[in-house]
Amino acid sequence: MTLAARNRLAIAAYLVALALPVAWAVCVDHGKPVRYWGAATVAAIWATQFVRDRLILGRATGDARQGLTLFVEPVAWTGLKWAYRSFVAAAETVGLSDRIEMFQWSSVWGAVFVLPDLMGYRRNLRHAQRLADRITRHATEHPGSPVHLVTYSSGGFIALEALRRLPPGVRVRSVLLQTATVSRGYDLSASLAACDEMANVWSPLDWLVNGFGALAFGANDRRHAVPAGTLPFRTDHLSNRERLRQIGWRPAFVRYLYFGEHFTALALPWMTRLLKHQRAGRLDDL
């Protein structure tokens, strides 16, 4: 059974497990057991997902000589590795032969409270340098092997800053930003100069998590402004803006279970389609 099929079965099982206590409370006991069985069900689902995340992190796939695809994680809220499992399943479905790795940077405090990782500017820059070092090491060990970056949420800032820190002669083939938590006024000039192409997936419906969060607490680049995951990057000042493709959410994306807000951007059908079209150079056909 493929990883994508196992993911679908797990999601179906989770939905059933969540529905049972609620159904029991409504139909049988008028709300009494939902406090206990509901809490126990949520805790069990979290623990199961936590273990599944750790198992897939140790799974080595692909050939580094064919290329390296780095998934730059978001804040590991509640300790879970959001989106990575869906990304690996999508890569398996698309048939990528690259070496696939997750670049981890989120802290324990970030997993509990989110804000330390969102607002830790100096710390995040150090991790961006780590990512740049990983890309450089791959370029040294496997000359000519392309590097691709895929990001979700706050991982976009780490990737953009890593691009700025690459040494001369080291380049990234493609960068895919999803619901990026970096201000739309962020200067992309240096980041675009270090990659062949970049795609930014944004949605005007992503206000509850991305928009209001960045306005209230600041985006990862510490600007209290609308992030590029909610409205597109400003590009008027960019001389190399032809390398940037900005993809705004459309109602047609609902068929791939992407409803325009923050969390369904990691839905497996959407991530599979996005990755397939991006690697084929057909993002305009989404």
Domain shared by 86 and 228, yes or no: yes
Query: For residue 61, is pLDDT > 80?
Result: no
Q: How many domains, in total, are found in the chain?
A: 2
Are 183 and 137 members of one domain?
Answer: yes
Instruction: Render pLDDT for 25-59 as a digit per residue (tens, 0 to 9).
Output: 666 655 555 566 667 777 777 777 778 777 777 77
- Predicted local distance difference test score (pLDDT) of residue 20: 67
Alpha helices in the chain (DSSP H): 3-24, 39-57, 84-94, 108-113, 115-119, 121-141, 155-164, 189-193, 212-217, 268-279
- How many angstroms separate the CA atoms of 138 and 25, rounded? 55
| C-alpha–C-alpha distance, residues 139 and 246, integer Å | 27
Whole-angstrom distance, CA of residue 215 vs CA of residue 209: 10
Residue 175: pLDDT above 90?
yes
Verify that 37 and 109 share a domain, yes or no: no
| 251 band by pLDDT with thresholds 50, 70 and 90 | very high
> Quick check: helix, strand or coil at residue 199?
strand
Q: Which residues contact 74 (CB under 8 A, 6 or more apart)?
A: 82, 83, 106, 151, 152, 153, 154, 155, 181
pLDDT of residue 260: 95
Query: Do residues 227 and 214 make contact, with C-beta atoms less than 8 angstroms apart?
Result: yes
Q: Kindly state whether residues 129 and 39 are assigned to the same domain.
A: no
**pLDDT over 70 (residue 124):** yes
**Average pLDDT over all residues of the chain:** 87
Q: Are residues 113 and 141 in the same domain?
A: yes
What pLDDT was estimated at residue 178? 95
Distance, in Å, from the CA atom of 283 to the CA atom of 8, rounded to the nearest integer, reads 25
- pTM of the complete model: 0.86
Do both 232 and 205 map to the same domain? Answer: yes
55/262: higher pLDDT:
262
Residues 63-90 have a mean pLDDT of 89
Domain carrying residue 112: 61-285
Same domain, 66 and 47: no
Rounded to whole angstroms, the Cα distance separating 49 from 169 reads 40
Q: What is the mean pLDDT of residues 18-31?
A: 62
* Residue 271: predicted pLDDT: 94
Same domain assignment for residues 43 and 99:
no
Residue 111 has pLDDT above 80, yes or no: no
Residues 19, 137, single domain; the answer is no
**Neighbouring residues of 264: CB distance < 8 A, sequence distance ≥ 6:** 257, 258, 270
For residues 9-14, average pLDDT:
64
